[in-house]
Amino acid sequence: MRNVVIGGVAAGMSAASQAKRRMPNAEVIVLERGDHVSYGACGMPYNIEDPQRDILDLVVITPAEFRHTRGIDVRTRHEVLSIRAAQREIEVRDHVAGHNYLQGYDRLVIATGAEAVRPPIPGIDLPGVFLLRDLADGDAIKRFIDETGPQRAVIIGAGYIGMEMADVLNRRGLAVSVLERAQQVLPGFEPVIAGIVLDELHRHDVKVETGVAVLGVERTGQGLLVRTDRGETAADLILVSAGIRPNVALARSAGARLGEHGAIAVDTRQGTSLADIYAAGDCAEAFHRVLSKPAYVPLGTTANKQGRVAGANAAGGDEHFAGIVGTAGFRVFDLEVARTGVGAAEISSHGLDAISVVSRHASRGHHFPGSGRITTVVFAERDSGRLLGAQMVGADTVAKRVDIFATALHARMSVADVESLDLSYAPPFAPVYDPVLIAARVARKALSGHH
């Protein structure tokens, strides 16, 4: 039995490790076109923040360790050029030796991930303009900061990476400006949440322009210049964090079915439409339990879990991925921001009849030191009272509170069910009525007001 995995990050290495564990005598080969495998991309912002840390600290297991201690044949700088599903073979470019070869497989896992979007803006390829997707990108940004001492950064795109990196670059001493095309920062969040984040950015002297079109980047005698439809901003370092798109070219040309979001369509066993070919991670869709249909919510947490399922099944198992509810969180300066379930955009695009309520509550017991204010938005279905989503922002214990809502969504609970949960209370970590319970109560009352 020979299992071949394409891509060596979260989904790929989870699949390879699981396949080898299930079937120790099987041959497991990982083909990765880059130099590194098995690293925590999610840790890159915090590594860049710390000048003392080596970027390679993010590598969990090296290719040599995989080969010698786990018996997994990891081949870096090996790029898969095509999949010949009928012949059960793939064409590989060995960039080290400089030749191509054909590799046969019994079962194949596609874990090709996603790539950062590079908007078609003149000058976007100039030196000093960076993306942040893989370890090589993180290394390049860190070296640039260490070696050239940039003073001014412009970040294009105020999503997850833009927010995390505004914080990190500010901590590294750069003056940061953020340019966002949408009318608010974090377009995936409710305006009330985005407004609190905007205040936090301003409190740390981060300049923000929303509803702005970036027209071009130029090099001048004083560094780089970003031209927009409103004016110009000078920069020494530009970070483009304008979203990602799934890497599906290989799968598509092999004939695998893509879903409506453009990522590879998979069943609950991570099987694709092609026999003995599985897909997992940022290249694939995932079943969304709130919408009861496939969605594209590319995250490391999902990539790891889907990879594990794909690897187990490639090795003859029968594992199923339970699906997602769309949970993500991040930190920006002193705030935690997180969401789960669906938000206003998905509610309207799926024609759901829902209400949303906003509540504000303390994070800890009355007068307890360190208590902060948490703002919560809850979405609930009007007729059934079912919880549809929640978003939270605050200085304290927000992300893990959103996980309570995520658990409730997984179990298809109503807001009344959430309101009656038995959550822990002691002043150091919660008020008598937890902000989660208060938010659910406000939603339940708003719903009953409609009847």
User: Binder to ligand NAD among 10, 37, 109, 161 (CB under 6 A)?
Assistant: 161
Distance, CA of 169 to CA of 45 (rounded, Å): 9
Is there binding between residue 336 and ligand NAD (CB under 6 A)?
A: no
DSSP 199: H
Q: Which residue has the tokens 């997984």?
A: 410
For residues 342 and 438, which CB has a smaller minimum distance to ligand NAD in the complex? 342
Of residues 84 through 123, those in contact with ligand NAD by CB under 6 A are 119
Terminal-residue alpha carbon distance, the chain? 61
Count of beta carbons in the 10 Å neighbourhood of residue 142: 20
Of 287-316, which residues contact ligand NAD (CB under 6 A)? 298-299
Q: How far is the CB of 281 from ligand NAD (least distance, A)?
A: 12
| Residue whose CB is less far from ligand NAD, 59 or 215 | 215
Show the CA angle centred on residue 110, arms to residues 106 and 112, nearest 5°: 150
Nearer to ligand NAD, 240 or 291 (CB): 240
User: Smallest distance, Å, CB 447 to ligand NAD?
Assistant: 30
- Residue showing tokens 């078609």: 120
Residues 373-392 that bind ligand NAD (CB under 6 A): none
| Tokens of residue 220, six digits | 């001048």
Of residues 33 through 92, those in contact with ligand NAD by CB under 6 A are none
Q: Helices 435-449 and 399-410: crossing angle, nearest 10°?
A: 50
> Buried (b) or exposed (e) across 305-335, using 16+ Cβ within 10 A?
bbbbbbbbbbbebebebebbbbbbbbbbbeb
61 Cβ neighbours under 8 A, 6+ residues apart: 13, 37, 38, 70
Q: Which residues are near ligand FAD by CB under 6 A?
A: 6-12, 31-34, 41-42, 44-45, 79-80, 111-114, 132-134, 161, 247, 250, 281-282, 298-301, 303
Residue 123: HSE in the Cβ half-sphere, 13 Å Cα cutoff: 17
Q: Which does 10 bind (CB under 5 to 8 A by kind): ligand FAD, ligand NAD, none?
A: ligand FAD
Q: Would you count residue 180 as binding ligand NAD (CB under 6 A)? A: yes
Q: Tokens representing 194? A: 């985005």
Neighbours of 353 (CB within 10 A): 9
The amino acid sitting at 98 is G
Looking at residue 172, the DSSP 8-state letter turns out to be: T
From the list ligand NAD, ligand FAD, none, partner contacted by residue 292 (C-beta under 5 to 8 A by kind): none
Smallest gap from Cβ 439 to ligand NAD, in A, equals: 22
In the complex, residue closest to ligand FAD by CB: 113
Q: Which is nearer to ligand NAD, 168 or 250 (CB)?
A: 168
Give the position of tokens 């927000």: 398
Stretch that binds ligand NAD, among 65-73, 173-181, 246-254, 400-408 (CB under 6 A): 173-181
Of 156, 265, 355, 392, the one binding ligand NAD (CB under 6 A) is 156
Q: Which of 12, 157, 294, 394 binds ligand NAD (CB under 6 A)?
A: 157
Residue with smaller CB distance to ligand NAD, 19 or 165? 165
Quick check: 214 binds ligand NAD (CB under 6 A)? yes
Comparison of 55 and 354: residue with beta carbon closer to ligand FAD: 55
In the 8-state DSSP scheme, what is residue 344? H
Which residues lie below 8 Å from residue 337, measured CB to CB, with a gap of 6+? 163, 186, 189, 193, 197, 329, 330, 331, 391, 392, 393, 398
Q: Is 283 in the active site?
A: no
Q: What is the C-alpha separation between 451 and 449, in angstroms, rounded?
A: 6
Q: How far is the CB of 298 from ligand NAD (least distance, A)?
A: 5
Nearer to ligand FAD, 58 or 179 (CB): 58
Q: For strand 277-279 and strand 107-110, is the pairing parallel, antiparallel, or unpaired?
A: parallel
Q: Read off the tokens for 119.
A: 């908007």
Q: Which stretch binds ligand NAD (CB under 6 A): 50-58, 138-146, 235-243, 352-360?
A: 235-243
> Out of ligand FAD, ligand NAD, none, which partner does residue 187 contact, by CB within 5 to 8 A per kind?
ligand NAD
Q: Which stretch binds ligand NAD (CB under 6 A): 72-80, 88-96, 174-182, 249-257?
A: 174-182
Min dist. Cβ of residue 312 to ligand FAD (A): 16
- By beta-carbon proximity to ligand NAD, the closer residue of 29 and 156 is 156
Helix (H) or strand (E) holding 341, with range, is strand 335-341
Which residue shows structure tokens 């000093």? 128
Catalytic-labelled residue, pool 1, 26, 42, 421:
42
Q: Which residues make up the interface to ligand NAD (CB under 6 A)?
A: 119, 156-162, 164, 179-182, 187, 214, 241-244, 298-299, 328, 330
Catalytic positions are 42
